[in-house]
A and B are shown apart, each in its own frame.
Chain A
Amino acid sequence: MTTITFPAPRTPQRAETPPPRPARFPRYLSETSLLVGRGLRMIRRVPERLSDVTVQPVMFTLLFLYVFGSAIHVSGLSYQNYLLPGLLGQSLAFGVIGAGVATSTDFSTGVIDRFRSLPVTRMSVISAQVIGQIIEQILGIVIVIGVGLALGWRPDLDPARGLELVGLMLLALFAFTWLGVLAGMLIRSSDAMQGLGFAIMLPLSFLAGTFVPIAGMKLVPRTIAEWDPLSAIVASVRQVCQGTQSTGSLQLQHPVPAMIAWCALIMAVCIPLALRRFRTVNA
């Protein structure tokens, strides 16, 4: 063997006693911030974790702008102004994949079990998961916006619409992150989560008027697209950013209320299920 010395632990020192535990809510806040801090530190250590929300949308931007874009004509809008809001909408929904992968990884490594065996509020563990993921997604979205602006995207925003955009984006991020956390707890293999996430989200995104207008699609894809929740998100972002008015199904005529409704529905279903699953996971 080697020459590494491996002495038995020294005579133990008396452990310092932890301070009396504060009331539940301040405890929840400090535990959540500790756990969010853990997640953020990981971003620095494993930057490739961010590739889903950075490299991949930038690739889509370049691919569609410079490869497919010349064959796509959108009346009344430059392709930059059509594509970038679409990609923003797609990024919001793709948050489900990042959140799902991170959650399934945490659950399969036993780290979450250790947190759950500590006297920390369980809500703080899952809150930190959601908040950390949202911060990651925001980072990715900022990059997409930056690349878009550099390549000629000109959003038509006044302060009120800017605020509306931020509000809508946060709402969608929140909803899709909860969906991802729930999916990650149910699937529990990060590879499977990644594969399944893309297999579901990518077609939904292609059908959502993200890259090409829905109106020009054949009957079957058009019908799906008109009721695809991502269509409402993409149309909302585009409406707020560029002042466009989408037409077609009811949700496309009123994309903003439709997007809010979809997000509310996702939250109403996923939050209680995720909390329940978190309490009883492995039970």
Chain B
Amino acid sequence: MTAHDLTVVTNGLTKQFGDLVAADHIDLEVAAGTVVALLGPNGAGKTTVVRMLATLSAPTSGTATVCGHDIVREADAVRSVISLTGQFAALEDNLTARENLVLMARLRGYARGAATRVVNGLIDRFDIGEFRDKLVKALSGGERRRVDLAASLVVQPKLLVLDEPTTGLDPRSRQVVWSTVRDLVDEGVTVLLTTQYLDEADALADTIVLIDHGRTVAAGTPSDLKARIGDQRVDVVAVDGAGLDGLVAALSGRFEVDVVRVRRTISVPAPDEIADLAEVAAAVGASGIPIDEIALRRPTLDDAFLALTGQPIDTEPKGDPENVSGATRKDLAGVTS
């Protein structure tokens, strides 16, 4: 692949905040017209990488180019080919949705009339019409995110950078974000996104880069990584220890079982998904042993880390999305002030 086909290239990109190495020798290549997902838990360094590429913060060492422009020496050229949608909707709370979009369009250099046309197009495209004249502070999270996305598409960028675009969103808004990303890719836009969700990376990305503690721990296509992570599993949760023993005895002959005793859980690989679920359920039913729960479980980010790094993610248990983002905001403030 020639340099021309690569929208983003980083070489040993590193960012240090005091003693903390937030990004540690990140080497990335994002081919033009593809979607690359940086996948990792909170505090892994995803936002740090994205902020450097968006010229918001300068690397401590290493280099990076976007569309061939150096992010430090040619920052202005980089800014004219990228669009950034940050983790927190960067809109003016006290302006309406429409005023925010017009302001972005005018700042991008459109004259008044052209700005109005562009904004009307975006309002249409993202179904903002209903709340276009509401103040942004009165909008729901999903509505804000749509306005935010529209604001970053005032000009069709060559590279769209999305920092955790669906964290804290309801499932429907999440779908809107996903379909927007797919549309843009069809139009030839290159997308670099960060996410904490394995299913999001799987659904959107051509390449997934797993990041932890500022380092790249694995990279590959979703199917490639999934093959390494393992398939979906059927989990059977027993009522008590005796029940668990009984179930192990009943199932181990027919299935390849993993037992997690503390959780009273038997886990069976389920490459055929529902068919496997049915088969395990039938075997459990035949044994006559009562159970608490039986479920088909998709691999999570935790499973991915366990499979690819041999270590679980060592962050605090995740609370609700609000709390998670609140903590991130605080962490960032602590690091940067």
Interface residues of A, Cβ cutoff 8 Å to B: 1, 6-19, 21-22, 27, 31, 34-35, 38, 41-42, 45-46, 108-111, 113-120, 186-189, 280-283
Contacts and interface: CB of A to CB of B under 8 A. Distances in A.
B57 A283 contact: yes
Contact of B107 (A31, A42, A46, A280): A31
A19 B118 contact: no
B256 interface: no
A42 B88 contact: no
Interface in B133-155: 135, 151, 153-155
Given A110-B86, A113-B86, A117-B56, A15 B79 contact: no
A189 B180 CA distance: 34
Contact of B118 (A15, A38, A45, A115): A15
B179 to A, nearest CB: 4
B322 interface: no
A109 B87 CA distance: 11
Contacts of B156: 14-15
A16 B118 contact: yes
A253 B305 CA distance: 72
A282 B336 contact: yes
B94 A45 contact: yes
A1 B79 CA distance: 40
Contact of B86 (A13, A21, A108, A114): A114
Contacts of B125: 9-10, 12-13
Nearest to A19: B109
Contacts of A7: 127
Contacts of B155: 15, 17-18
Given A7-B127, A8-B176, A109 B90 contact: yes
Given A9-B127, A16-B118, A111 B91 contact: yes
A34 B92 contact: no
B60 to A, nearest CB: 9
Interface residues of B, number: 57
A127 to B, nearest CB: 14
B92 A111 contact: yes
Interface of B: 51, 54-58, 76, 79-80, 82-84, 86-95, 99, 103-104, 106-111, 114, 117-118, 121, 124-127, 135, 151, 153-156, 172-173, 175-176, 179-180, 183-184, 187, 333, 336-337
B90 A18 contact: no
A54 B117 CA distance: 39
B114 A19 contact: yes
Given A38-B95, A41-B99, A45-B94, A282 B51 contact: yes
A42 B95 contact: yes
11 contacts: A8-B179, A11-B183, A13-B124, A15-B121, A15-B153, A17-B155, A110-B86, A113-B86, A116-B56, A118-B79, A282-B57
A187 B79 CA distance: 27
A188 B176 CA distance: 33
Given A9-B179, A114-B84, A119 B76 contact: yes
A12 B183 contact: yes
A89 B292 CA distance: 74
A283 B58 contact: yes
B90 A113 contact: yes
Given A113-B86, A188-B333, A118 B107 contact: yes
A95 to B, nearest CB: 21
Nearest to A125: B107
Contacts of B336: 281-282
B100 to A, nearest CB: 9
Contacts of A189: 333
A145 B176 CA distance: 53
